[in-house]
A and B are shown apart, each in its own frame.
Chain A
Amino acid sequence: MFKKITRRASKVAAIAAAGLLAMNVQAADPIRIGSFLSVTGPASFLGDPELKTLEMYVEKINKEGGVLGRQLELVHYDDAGNASKARNFASRLIRSDRVDIIVGGSTTGATMAAAPMVEQAGIPFISLAGAVVITDPVKKWVFKTPQTDRMAAERVLTDMKERGLTKVGLISGTGGFGSSGREQTLAAASAMGGIEIVADETYGGSDTDMTAQLTNIRGTDGVQTILNFGFGQGPAIVTRNYAQLGIELPFYQSHGVASDGFLELAGNSAEGLRLPASPLLVPESLPADDPQKPVVEAYKTEYEARWNSKVSTFGAYAYDGLMLAVEAIEKAGSTDKAAVRDALESIQGHVGVTGTFNMSPEDHNGLEAESFRILEVQDGGWKLIN
């Protein structure tokens, strides 16, 4: 609470310091950016960094003169990870607050619950949730910034094939992330060909031991590598069990655990495992000519300086969402909803933290599977493989 007051105070001070110039700008109506995020509840690890990112960059953009000479105004509600609440707040943003664009929806459920209303009202909506169903099939007004779980599966399977590993043992959590990931991995494997899922095990979200499933997979004929698709503490337990059982096969995790918190939980057991992740985890190892390098480094430094906490991949989804919205409004030259939507759909080569976005009428995500980097855990830290 106190933090918030000081934050507000510093905001006021900053605006005052910007002086008369800023006051001229503020005379125009602000551009209203609506947002509903899971800031509390089980998905707060998504919503919290997302909200912090939005607040911080709306402030920064305003300090620099706003967009089209107009200030931005963030209207935010907390859906607590509940889809019915998300729908209510989306309705409130559209019909009561009359926002110009929505950037939000931390979870797939929240996004999908709000999507029909967004479609009917005709308002551009940039979702921050992962599942492939959000943009496939394409919905006219709905866009999203994170890569899909399908891309993560494809990226991992491609890396396996490159290493000559073609018989995969799959273990996954039964939560939303894990079960959707499992489905997409099976689909990707059969679509790619030349790679086979030979074992398929699952574990519950609150299980504390997965040695039985891992032993089953190890006992499967011809298995060459193991992939775990899961979220939260489950994958850390799988990793520890993996080391305890002394399994020597190459081990892969999903992007669901691509955070420093996971390294702390899994400790030494994580050595040598690979996963697909955002370059945000390894900004310093990116080659100097990588177009994402400056964007990623700037976001990491600014976020960590401002909030005094580790940057997270999820916050980066919000960063990309906001920046895409800003670019679309600038391109459209107004906040006319149809024009902004068209501009959003035609964005090409937008370099974000998550990847480089190339939107099209057929692709409202705009990312390639290659935007995931394959990282390996070495000496307790992340190492960029490719």
Chain B
Amino acid sequence: MMAQFSRFRLKGLVFLAIVVFALPLFISNPFHYGLATQIALIAGAVVGLNLLVGFAGQISLGHAGFFGVGAYFSAIMTSNYGWSAIPALVVGAIGVAIIAWAVGRPILRLKGHYLSMATLAVGFIIAIILNNERELTGGPDGMPMPAFDVFGWELSVFGQYSLFGMDISGDLAWYLFAGVILLAAVWLAQNLIDSPIGRALRSVHGSEVAASVVGVNTAKYKSLVFVISAVYASVMGALYGHFQGFITPSIASFDFSILLITMVVLGGMGSTIGVIIGAVVLELLPQVLADFQEMEMMLFGLILMLTMIFMPKGLLPTAANYLNKRRSKSAGGDA
């Protein structure tokens, strides 16, 4: 059973890699590359959040806050203080890790869903600070962010943009970069899940009492995975900001936190590939529905409701279940 499980996971990573690298064969419009890049970066943050929600059974309602801190720290350091992108991203992630540790450590000693309340508050505080520290963050109007640079080499969406030509290499480069980042995020997450930490976490998710009885330090593992998922959000936030070139406090808003959680739940809690599908669906839907104008929100709500009613476990687990059932049915011969 276990072997089958992990084989399935590896298959998922290979499958994802094929999709990521095959996509440029089917799309050529830079707008679509831009969208795919955003989806990949947000999916990376969602993969991190899934570690917390799907494996430790804790809910964070402030993940957009961590996403926002990562983005704003990088933005402020690179544009105001001339830092290079990578050190800004790393220091920002360390800062976020410290915040998450300080918040999570005392609260995760308690049983139950106290973490969601604490993260709700932290998310709001971060959003308020970003909105009000006008000198630093530009306030509600937002601030520009320079292109991502690595050792003097610059990755810009506009890399080789000629004035009226449709040279797409800048967008394609960003897309491939984001794709690789997503693959790395998934690979890390899957390794973590299959490590002793991951097994300890799943035991906590199953039964916290049983886990502590067999000697798992539940508080330690829960805060560890909370910190890891916050760092995921921070790194993806910084990259997202570099890609967008302009950020506003709405990326740290409560709405965005809820959207991230919805992606996890919709795609299927605990399924790394599933939550990526959740991110793809929820990012693409508004674009598809944009043509319906005032019907947009209604259709969006309807789709979410129907999914929750008919696929309560999420898109991928439900689909996998269905396929398994059919396979065992035909194997059993009673069609």
| Interface residues in chain A, defined as those with a beta carbon under 8 Å from any beta carbon in chain B | 1, 4, 40, 76-78, 81-85, 87-89, 91-92, 94-96, 107-109, 112-113, 115-117, 120-122, 131, 133, 174-176, 179-180, 183, 337
In the assembly, what is the distance between CA of A222 and CA of B204, in Å?
66
- Assess whether B31 is in contact with A92, with CB atoms less than 8 Å apart: yes
Q: Are A96 and B132 touching (Cβ within 8 A)?
A: no
Interface contact A87-B246, CB-CB below 8 Å: yes
Known contacts: A108-B141, A176-B139. The answer to whether A116 contacts B297 by CB under 8 A is no
From B157, B245, B251, residue with most partner A Cβ within 10 Å: B245
Q: Are B248 and A113 in contact (CB under 8 A)?
A: yes
Among candidates A82, A88, A91, A112, residue contacting B246 with C-beta atoms closer than 8 Å: A112
**B207: chain A residues within 8 A (beta carbon):** none
The answer to whether B139 touches A113, judged by C-beta atoms less than 8 angstroms apart, is: no
Determine the chain A residues whose CB is within 8 A of the CB of B251 once the complex forms: 84
Task: Give Cα distance in the complex from A77 to B251, angstroms.
Answer: 20
Determine the chain B residues whose CB is within 8 A of the CB of A120 once the complex forms.
157-158, 161
Check B286 against A85 for contact (C-beta < 8 Å). Answer: yes
B80 within 8 A of A: no
Residues of chain B within 8 A of A84, CB atoms compared: 38, 244, 248, 250-251
How far is A55 from B247 in the complex, measured between Cα atoms in Å? 30
Q: Which residue of A is nearest B156, CB measured?
A: A120
Tell me whether A116 and B245 are in contact (CB under 8 A).
yes
Q: Which of A77, A95, A116 contacts B30 (CB 8 A)?
A: A95
Nearest Cβ on chain A to B148's Cβ, whole angstroms: 14
Binds A, one of B94-102, B288-296, B317-325: B288-296
Chain A hits for B244, CB < 8 A: 84, 87, 113
Tell me the dominant secondary structure on chain B's binding face: helix
How far does the Cβ of B170 sit from chain A's closest Cβ, in whole Å?
9
Central interface residue in A40, A96, A116, A122, by most chain B CB within 10 Å: A116
What 12 additional pairs, Cβ within 8 angstroms, besides A88-B35, A92-B287? A77-B290, A83-B248, A88-B38, A108-B141, A112-B141, A113-B245, A116-B144, A121-B161, A122-B164, A133-B141, A174-B131, A337-B164
B31, A96: Cβ atoms under 8 Å?
A: yes
B132 and A95 within 8 A (CB): no
Complex formed: what's the CA distance from A24 to B152 in Å? Answer: 57
In the assembly, what is the distance between CA of A264 and CA of B187, in Å?
Answer: 59
- The CA of A76 and the CA of B293, in the complex, are separated in Å by 9
Given known contacts A1-B294, A91-B30, A122-B163, is B139 in contact with A179 (CB within 8 Å)?
A: yes
Say yes or no for B29: interface residue by CB 8 A criterion: yes
Residues of chain B contacted by A77 (CB below 8 angstroms):
290
The closest CB in chain B to the CB of A336 belongs to: B164
Task: Please indicate the chain A residues that have their CB under 8 angstroms from the CB of B297 in the complex.
Answer: 40
- What are 6 A-to-B residue pairs whose CB atoms are below 8 Å? A83-B248, A88-B35, A96-B31, A112-B141, A113-B246, A115-B246
- A383 to nearest B CB, angstroms? 33
CB contacts under 8 Å to A, within B282-323, are: 286-287, 290, 293-297
Q: What 7 A-B pairs have minimum CB-CB distances, sorted nearest first?
A: A176-B140, A95-B31, A83-B248, A113-B246, A109-B248, A120-B158, A108-B141
Contact status A176-B164, CB under 8 Å: no
- Contact A183 B141, CB 8 Å, known A91-B30, A92-B31, A95-B29: no
Q: How far is the CB of A336 from chain B (nearest CB, A)?
A: 10
The reply to whether B34 and A88 contact each other, CB–CB distance below 8 Å, is: yes
Residues of A close to B139: CB separation below 8 A? 176, 179-180
Interface pair B144/A112, CB less than 8 Å apart: yes
B134 interface contact, C-beta 8 A: yes
Beta-carbon contact of A175 and B140 below 8 Å: yes
A109 proximity list for chain B (CB < 8 A) = 140-142, 248, 250
A88 to B240, CA, bound (A): 13
CA distance A267 to B321 in the complex (A): 63
Of B32, B131, B141, B287, chain A has the most CB atoms within 10 Å of the CB of B141
Those of B27-58 within 8 Å (CB) of chain A: 29-32, 34-35, 38
Q: Which residues of B contact A83 (CB under 8 A)?
A: 142, 246-248, 250
CB distance from B174 to the nearest CB of A (A): 12
Kindly list chain A residues whose C-beta atoms are within 8 Å of the C-beta of B31: 91-92, 94-96
Cα distance, A277 to B31, chains bound together (Å): 39
**Chain A CB within 10 Å — which of B134, B166, B251 has the most?**
B134
Q: Please indicate the chain A residues that have their CB under 8 angstroms from the CB of B166 in the complex.
A: 95
State in angstroms the CA–CA spacing of A77 and B296 once bound together. 11
Minimal beta-carbon separation of A78 from chain B (angstroms): 7
Contact with A along B143-166 (1 / 0, CB 8 A): 010000000000001100101101
Q: Which residues of A contact B32 (CB under 8 A)?
A: 96
Least Cβ distance of A67 to chain B in Å? Answer: 22
Measured CB to CB, the nearest residue on chain A to B290 is: A77
Chain A: minimal CB distance from B325 (Å): 39
Report yes or no: B34 in contact with A179, Cβ–Cβ below 8 A.
no
The distance in angstroms between the C-alpha atoms of A180 and B135, with both chains bound, is: 11
- CB A6 to nearest CB in B, in angstroms, measures 14
Residue of A40, A76, A109, A179 ringed by the most chain B CB atoms within 10 A:
A109
Bound-complex Cα distance A219 to B54 (A): 57
Assembled-state Cα–Cα distance A174/B164 (Å): 41
Task: Name the distance in Å between A162's Cβ and chain B's nearest Cβ.
Answer: 31
**Closest B residue by C-beta to A122:** B163
Residues of B within 8 A of A133 (CB): 141
**CB-nearest residue of chain A relative to B140?**
A176
Kindly provide the distance from the CB of A180 to the nearest chain B CB, expressed in whole angstroms.
Answer: 7
The distance in angstroms between the C-alpha atoms of A107 and B246, with both chains bound, is 14
Task: Closest B residue to A51 by CB, please name it.
Answer: B293
- The CA-CA distance from A121 to B244 in the complex, in Å, is 15
How far is A85 from B286 in the complex, measured between Cα atoms in Å? 9
Residues of A within 8 Å of B247, CB to CB, are 83
Q: B29 touching A96 by the CB < 8 A rule?
A: yes
User: How far is it, in angstroms, between the C-alpha of A179 and the C-alpha of B251 when the chains are bound?
Assistant: 20
The residue of chain A having its C-beta at the shortest distance from the C-beta of B158 within the complex is A120
Chain A neighbourhood of B245, CB < 8 A: 113, 116-117
Looking at the complex, which one of A81, A91, A122, A131 makes contact with B34 (CB distance below 8 Å)?
Answer: A91
Residues of B within 8 A of A107 (CB): 141
Q: Which of A94, A108, A183 is close to B134, meaning CB atoms less than 8 Å apart?
A: A183
What is the CA–CA distance of A96 and B32 in the complex, to the nearest angstrom?
9
CB distance from B144 to the nearest CB of A (A): 7
